[in-house]
């Protein structure tokens, strides 16, 4: 979880324009949630060194596996021009040098992401990175992000790397360990499939190339591999091959049509390419599919698995190099009764599944081959319900050094086992949540009440938690109601046991009177959803910025729209020391309410674009504002503002308990000061 970051950034005095002190240091730790809580869309093991593996996430960066099954975050750095590197579109390892790892970094190909993509290269297991900049965008959080891997290192010549781009940008190649890149002009199949043509969000762009893989036996060490396979998101011809080290390319004859290639893995011992197919790249919706096998010597395609029109298709696929013919593949989107995984020991001639469905009605309907272990994430059953295997299973990997060990990513966590071959003995194996340390959920709101738990959080996808101990996974999500994506959370200043949260569902406003232990839906939440909710100091008023307006309710009576503030997108804040004081910002306009949010008066439009409002929790009317021009301060409830300190740009600002004897709170900000973008603290802002 990105509430605390693994890299200590410089600290500075926010309120004085003198030299910045960069000598103070913090030891940062992630708040433990017990599971990733978000989409793990790629897992890759090193074939060179035992125990080396990496997992990529859509918005949370790259993680490296540790010996105790935990994960180390490799991209918990902060910079206002590097935030999009937390989106990882692909990952590749050098098969002959375990210290070398590469990622394709970028979050969106849409207009709202201003930054082009980069290939990041590391020679020290991801501890440090060098960057190669591309002239177009990558999309780690775009549709089809669990396809792949679209980045691959030549197993015979590690200086050669291929990258398959999105957006119709084609195939790219580096011959110098990722330092420089050039488009492969002879490769023209760009993968033209679009999930939802015309969509302006995640599903309106060309998916592009889905995987790149090599036949390691096609040349000798030190010479570029001659046989290369490239998969595309294109229903007419999906798999292309070069047999002259990438000079020329052609679609492999006889391949299935009407489906997209998802994952391709080559078996050198069988001289065969395994390919999983699905008829869509929609991250959240399935489709029909197959698994095929292409024998390069006989040039024949053989269908080895069919979902029989059940509408889920196939996604993550892995081979066991220690057990010739052992292959596993996950269903792309099987929502009922659970996601499934298929396993074959004979190259796909016969299969068993991780669970079977009993139609007789005598046994429990789903007969599992595993015992489910979520002891590291006790809240997970509340999210998954009766689904134990998971969903959105786009990546599955068998440890090349240990046939007992496998991992796969889902939309909520990583599952895996160290007793995999029990499956073949008809003995249940332990299927465990194995994502400790991978706290990659999108954090959408936090509050730290002065009494009760140290932290209450709300997040995307899995709701959020009451954190009674920051070093121990929370036991339960926020429940009754539970919303997948929860937008905001706030506690009342003088009655911190009263808490409000808003979420993406009809009736998306809930209240708690016991600091988040129990909840009930606001009596007049109606059908509204989302937005940002705040409580007055006594907890009797709720101000809800929703539906392009600001609405107020007292004691759960019907909401009334604030009449004298223009429609728009708002940032709201409350004064925790005065029941009537509320603040709001829309674009560059700052508003003040003295009647518990019932009406507002604009006080200024001259301090820059307002990103966040921070309020002194110990003194009335002491307000701080983060804007694109820096940090601004008011001691008269926002009637007037003065520039505070040397920050030239600020994204977040909040105040907390004093770190000194001054009695004035410490101020925390994400800002740019003297050219350094990072997290700052000041203890010198005594007015």
Selection from 285-289, 403-407, 410-414 with the highest mean pLDDT: 403-407
Calculate ∠ Cα 420-149-208, nearest 5°.
Answer: 140
**Strand bridging mode 370-373 / 429-433:** parallel
**What three-state secondary structure class fits 634?**
strand
pLDDT at 627 over 90: yes
pLDDT at 12 over 50: no
What's the pLDDT at 659?
Answer: 79
Distance (Å, whole) CA 669 – CA 633: 13
Which is catalytic among the residues 371, 402, 424, 461?
461
pLDDT at 664 over 90: no
With CA atoms as reference, report the closest residue to 275 among 258, 286, 289, 288: 289
Active site residue 58: yes
Q: What is the mean pLDDT of the chain?
A: 91
What's the pLDDT at 22?
Answer: 53
Distance (Å, whole) CA 247 – CA 118: 25
What's the pLDDT at 8?
Answer: 29
The secondary structure element, H or E, covering residue 384 is helix 380-384
What's the pLDDT at 15?
Answer: 61
Contacts of 435 (CB under 8 A, 6+ apart): 35, 36, 40, 71, 376, 377, 413, 414
Annotate 640-671 with b (16+ C-beta within 10 A) or e (fewer).
ebeebbbbebbbebbbeeeeeeeebbbbbbbb
Can you say how many angstroms the Cα of residue 159 is from the centroid of all Cα atoms in its chain?
30
Identify the structural domains of the chain with CATH numbers, from first to last. 56-433 (2.130.10.10)
- What confidence tens digit (pLDDT) does each residue in 325-343 have? 999 999 998 878 889 999 9
Which is catalytic among the residues 58, 94, 307, 320?
58
Of 6-10, 272-276, 399-403, which range is least confident?
6-10
* DSSP code at position 342: E
Give the count of alpha carbons within 13 A of 70, CB side only. Answer: 11
pTM of the model: 0.90
What's the pLDDT at 2?
Answer: 36
Active site residue 504: no
Give all strands (DSSP E) within 165-289, no chain letters. Answer: 171-174, 182-183, 209-214, 228-232, 239-242, 250-251, 260-267, 272-278
Contacts of 494 (CB under 8 A, 6+ apart): 537, 538, 539, 576, 577, 579
- What confidence tens digit (pLDDT) does each residue in 185-239 have? 999 999 999 999 999 999 999 999 999 999 999 999 999 999 999 999 999 999 9
Of 19-28, 142-151, 456-465, which range is least confident?
19-28
Confidence of residue 79 (pLDDT cuts 50, 70, 90): low
Query: CA dist 468 to 209, 356, 457, Å?
Result: 45, 39, 11
pLDDT at 14 over 80: no
What's the pLDDT at 67?
Answer: 96
* DSSP code at position 470: T
Of 82-86, 454-458, 582-586, 633-637, which range is least confident?
82-86
What's the pLDDT at 6?
Answer: 27
What's the pLDDT at 314?
Answer: 94
pLDDT at 7 over 50: no
Contact 79, 186 (CB under 8 A): no
């Amino acid at each position: 979880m990105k509430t605390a970051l693994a890299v200590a950034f410089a600290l500075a005095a926010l309120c004085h324009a003198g030299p910045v002190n960069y000598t103070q240091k913090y030891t940062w730790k992630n708040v433990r949630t017990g599971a990733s809580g978000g989409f793990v869309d790629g897992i890759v093991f090193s074939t060179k060194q035992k125990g080396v593996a990496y997992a990529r996430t859509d918005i949370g960066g790259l993680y490296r596996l540790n010996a105790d099954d935990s994960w180390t975050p490799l991209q918990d750095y902060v910079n206002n021009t590097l935030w999009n590197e937390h989106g990882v579109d692909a990952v590749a390892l050098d098969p002959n040098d375990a210290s070398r790892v590469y990622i394709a970094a970028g979050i969106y190909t849409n207009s709202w992401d201003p930054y082009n993509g980069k290939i990041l290269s590391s020679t020290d297991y991801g501890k440090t990175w060098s960057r190669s900049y591309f002239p177009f965008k990558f999309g780690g959080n775009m549709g089809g992000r669990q396809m792949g891997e679209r980045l691959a290192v030549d197993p015979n010549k590690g200086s050669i790397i291929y990258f398959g781009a999105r957006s119709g940008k084609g195939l790219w190649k580096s011959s110098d360990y990722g330092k420089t890149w050039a488009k492969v002009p002879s490769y023209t199949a760009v993968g033209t499939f679009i999930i939802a043509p015309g969509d302006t969000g995640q599903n309106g762009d060309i998916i592009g190339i889905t995987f790149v893989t090599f036949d390691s036996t096609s040349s000798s060490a030190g010479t570029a591999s001659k046989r290369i396979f490239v998969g595309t998101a294109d229903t007419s011809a999906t798999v292309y091959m070069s047999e002259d080290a990438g000079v020329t390319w052609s679609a492999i004859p006889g391949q299935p049509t009407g489906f997209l290639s998802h994952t391709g893995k080559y078996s050198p011992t069988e001289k065969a390419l395994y390919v999983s197919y699905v008829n869509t790249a929609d991250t959240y919706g399935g489709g029909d599919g197959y698994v095929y096998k292409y024998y390069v010597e006989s040039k024949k395609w053989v269908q080895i698995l069919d979902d029989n029109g059940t509408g889920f298709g196939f996604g993550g696929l892995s081979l066991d190099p220690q057990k010739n013919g052992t292959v596993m593949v996950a269903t792309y989107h099987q929502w009922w009764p659970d996601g499934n995984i298929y396993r074959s020991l004979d190259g796909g001639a016969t299969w068993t599944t991780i669970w079977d469905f009993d139609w007789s009605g005598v046994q429990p309907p789903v007969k599992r081959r595993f015992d489910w272990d979520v002891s590291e994430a006790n809240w997970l059953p509340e999210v998954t319900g009766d689904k134990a295997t998971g969903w959105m299973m786009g990546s599955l990997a068998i440890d090349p050094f240990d046939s007992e060990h496998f991992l796969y990513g889902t939309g909520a966590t990583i599952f895996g086992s160290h007793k995999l071959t029990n499956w073949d003995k008809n003995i249940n194996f332990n299927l465990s949540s194995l994502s400790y340390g991978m706290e990659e959920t999108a954090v959408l709101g936090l509050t730290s009440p002065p009494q009760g738990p140290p932290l209450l959080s709300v997040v995307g996808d899995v709701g959020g938690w009451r954190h009674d101990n920051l070093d121990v996974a929370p036991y339960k999500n926020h429940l009754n109601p539970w919303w997948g994506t929860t937008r905001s959370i706030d506690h009342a200043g003088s009655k911190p046991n009263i808490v409000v949260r808003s979420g993406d569902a009809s009736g998306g406003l809930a209240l708690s009177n016991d600091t988040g232990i129990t909840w009930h839906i606001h009596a007049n939440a109606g059908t509204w959803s989302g937005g940002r909710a705040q409580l007055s100091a006594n907890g009797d008023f709720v101000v809800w910025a929703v539906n392009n307006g600001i609405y107020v309710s007292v004691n759960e009576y019907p909401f009334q729209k604030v009449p004298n503030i223009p429609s728009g997108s708002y940032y709201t804040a409350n004064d925790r020391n005065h029941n009537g004081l509320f603040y709001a910002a829309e674009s560059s306009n700052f508003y003040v309410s003295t009647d518990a949010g019932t009406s507002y008066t604009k006080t200024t439009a001259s301090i820059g674009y307002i990103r966040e409002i921070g309020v002194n929790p110990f003194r009335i009317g002491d307000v701080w504002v983060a804007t694109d021009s820096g940090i601004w301060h008011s001691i008269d409830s926002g009637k007037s503002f003065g520039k505070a300190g040397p920050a030239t740009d600020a994204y977040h600002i909040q105040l907390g308990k004093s770190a000194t004897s001054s009695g004035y709170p410490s101020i925390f900000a994400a800002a740019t000061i003297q050219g350094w973008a990072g997290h700052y603290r000041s203890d010198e802002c005594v007015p």
